[in-house]
C-alpha cells in the first residue's frame, strides 16, 4: 500500500486500521529495527514534536515514544495533568486545538475506567494532527502491535494462521490493571487467523462488545476464539502464552472512583475478595509444561513476580518479554513515522540511510 495513505491518521485502536495498514506498520517496524541495530540514521521526522500526555505512570510506553521520536529526529514533551491546565479542568477540545497549533502529534495515556477512551476520542475529534493512543481503558494498540511483531519474529509471518495462543488472567495485587491489553490482543490476533484461548475467572470478564468484535474477526479471517474459566486450558498445546492480570472493571459498574464512600469501599473490598479466590492463577513451570515444546512466554510488563508468574518462567529460556519490550520502540517509531508529517517513501530508501 501507499504509505502516504496513513499520513494524519489517528491510532486509537488497531481495529480501526485495515490489515494492509497494520502490515505496513509492521514492515516499517522491521526496517527501523534493522537501522537502529546497525546504527544507521533514520531522521524521518526532523524537528517535529510529539506531545506525550500521561494520566498514569509508564516505563515502556514513555521511553519508547520519547526515545523513538528522538531517533527519528524530533522531540517529545513529557506532560502530566499537573504540568498542564488539565488539572484546572481544561477541556479535551481546548487541549487538542492548542497543541495542534504547536506540534505534529498528540500521544495520550488515560486508563480511567469509562473515561479514558472517551477522552482520547474527544482529543481526536478536535485535533488537526494525529492522536496516538498510548493506552486507555479499552485499547492498547501500541502494545498489541509490538506483541504481533514479536510473535512474527519468533514464529515467522507464514506461521501466524493457526498459531495457538493462550491468554490468561493471572493473580496480582500490585494494582488493578486495565482490560486494554488482552482486549487489544484478541482483536488483533484473530485478524491474523490465530487460535486464541482466553482463560479468566467469571468475576473478571472482558467487555462483551470487544469479545463480539473479536469473534467476528475470527470468523472473517479463519481464526478461532474460545473462552474458559480454567487457567490450565489456556496452556494446553499453546505455542504462545500470555498470562496477565486485569482488573474487574467490567464487573463493577460504576467503578469506585465514580461513587462516594463508604459505598466505594464496599466495591473495593468485593474486588479484593474476588482476587483472593484465585491466588493459584500463576504461570509456573508446571503450567508451562502443558504447552507445546516451542512455547514462548510473553507479558506486557511490569509483571507481578511471584503472583502472576514465577521467576523461573519469566527469567527462563522460553521468556521473550524483553524482545517484546524492545519492539515497543520500533512499532512506536513506525506509527509516528507513518502518521506524522513527512514522507516515508521519499526519505527512507531500502538498504540505505535517510536522504
Same domain for 91 and 104?
yes
What span, in angstroms and rounded, lies between the C-alpha atoms of 45 and 303?
Answer: 33
What span, in angstroms and rounded, lies between the C-alpha atoms of 159 and 165?
Answer: 12
Same domain for 148 and 229?
yes
Same domain for 11 and 105?
yes
- Is residue 319 assigned to a domain? yes
CB 220 within 8 A of CB 79: no
- Is residue 306 assigned to a domain? yes
- pLDDT tens for each residue of the chain, 355 residues long: 666 789 999 999 999 999 999 999 999 999 999 999 999 999 999 999 999 999 988 899 999 999 999 999 999 999 988 888 877 788 999 999 999 999 999 999 999 888 999 999 999 999 999 999 999 999 999 999 999 999 999 999 899 999 999 999 999 986 668 899 999 999 999 999 999 999 999 989 999 999 999 999 999 999 999 999 999 999 999 999 999 999 865 444 444 445 555 665 666 677 777 778 899 999 999 999 999 999 999 999 999 999 999 999 999 999 999 999 999 999 999 999 999 986 554 456 544 445 4
Give the domain CATH number at 184. Answer: 3.40.50.1370
Same domain for 317 and 250?
yes
Residue with the three cell numbers 466495591: 267
Residue 332: per-residue pLDDT = 98
- Is residue 353 assigned to a domain? no
Domains in the chain, number: 2
Same domain for 64 and 125?
yes
Model pTM score: 0.92
Same domain for 337 and 217?
no
Domain encompassing residue 317 = 142-324
Same domain for 284 and 340?
no
Residue with the three cell numbers 494524519: 8
Residue 62: per-residue pLDDT = 94
Same domain for 98 and 189?
no
What span, in angstroms and rounded, lies between the C-alpha atoms of 174 and 110?
Answer: 19
Same domain for 158 and 58?
no
Burial class (CB in 10 A: 0-12, 13-18, 19+), 302: middle
The strand pair at 164-168 and 105-110 is best described as unpaired
What span, in angstroms and rounded, lies between the C-alpha atoms of 253 and 198?
Answer: 22
- Is residue 355 assigned to a domain? no
Same domain for 293 and 339?
no
- Is residue 354 assigned to a domain? no
Same domain for 106 and 163?
no
Give counts: helices (H), strands (E), the chain: 13, 9
Contacts of 353 (CB under 8 A, 6+ apart): 40, 41, 42
Residue 113: per-residue pLDDT = 85
Same domain for 203 and 79?
no
- Is residue 78 assigned to a domain? yes
Residue 114: per-residue pLDDT = 86
- 235 CB neighbour count, 10 Å cutoff: 24
Amino acid at each position: 500500500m501507499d504509505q502516504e495513505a496513513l499520513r494524519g491518521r489517528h491510532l486509537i485502536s488497531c481495529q480501526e486500521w485495515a490489515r494492509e495498514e497494520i502490515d505496513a506498520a509492521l514492515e516499517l517496524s522491521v526496517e527501523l529495527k534493522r537501522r537502529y541495530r546497525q546504527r544507521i540514521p533514520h531522521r524521518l521526522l526532523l524537528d517535529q514534536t510529539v506531545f506525550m500526555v500521561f494520566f498514569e505512570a509508564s516505563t515502556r510506553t514513555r521511553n519508547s515514544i520519547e526515545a523513538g521520536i528522538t531517533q527519528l529526529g524530533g522531540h517529545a514533551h513529557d506532560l502530566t495533568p499537573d504540568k498542564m491546565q488539565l488539572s484546572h479542568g481544561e477541556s479535551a477540545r481546548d487541549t487538542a486545538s492548542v497543541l495542534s497549533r504547536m506540534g505534529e502529534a498528540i500521544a495520550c495515556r488515560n486508563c480511567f475506567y469509562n473515561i479514558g477512551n472517551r477522552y482520547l476520542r474527544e482529543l481526536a475529534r478536535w485535533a488537526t494532527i494525529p492522536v496516538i493512543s498510548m493506552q486507555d481503558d479499552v485499547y492498547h494498540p501500541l502494545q498489541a502491535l509490538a506483541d504481533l511483531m514479536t510473535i512474527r519474529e519468533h514464529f515467522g509471518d507464514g506461521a501466524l494462521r493457526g498459531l495457538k495462543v493462550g491468554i490468561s488472567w493471572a493473580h496480582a495485587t500490585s494494582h488493578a490493571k486495565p482490560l486494554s491489553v488482552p482486549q487489544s490482543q484478541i482483536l488483533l490476533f484473530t485478524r491474523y487467523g490465530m487460535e486464541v484461548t482466553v482463560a479468566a475467572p467469571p468475576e473478571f470478564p472482558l467487555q462483551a462488545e470487544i469479545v463480539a468484535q473479536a469473534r467476528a474477526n475470527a470468523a472473517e479471517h479463519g481464526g478461532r476464539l474460545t473462552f474458559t474459566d480454567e487457567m490450565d486450558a489456556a496452556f494446553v498445546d499453546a505455542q504462545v502464552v500470555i498470562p496477565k492480570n486485569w482488573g474487574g472493571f467490567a464487573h463493577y459498574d460504576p467503578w469506585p472512583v465514580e461513587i462516594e464512600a463508604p459505598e466505594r469501599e464496599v466495591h473495593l473490598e468485593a474486588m479484593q475478595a474476588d482476587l483472593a479466590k484465585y491466588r493459584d492463577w500463576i504461570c509456573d513451570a508446571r503450567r508451562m509444561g502443558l504447552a507445546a515444546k516451542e512455547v514462548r512466554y510473553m507479558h506486557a510488563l511490569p509483571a507481578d513476580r511471584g503472583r502472576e508468574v514465577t521467576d523461573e518462567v519469566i527469567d527462563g529460556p522460553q521468556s521473550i518479554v524483553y524482545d517484546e519490550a524492545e519492539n515497543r520502540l520500533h512499532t512506536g517509531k513506525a506509527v509516528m513515522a507513518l502518521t506524522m508529517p513527512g514522507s516515508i517513501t521519499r526519505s527512507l530508501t531500502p538498504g540505505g540511510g535517510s536522504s
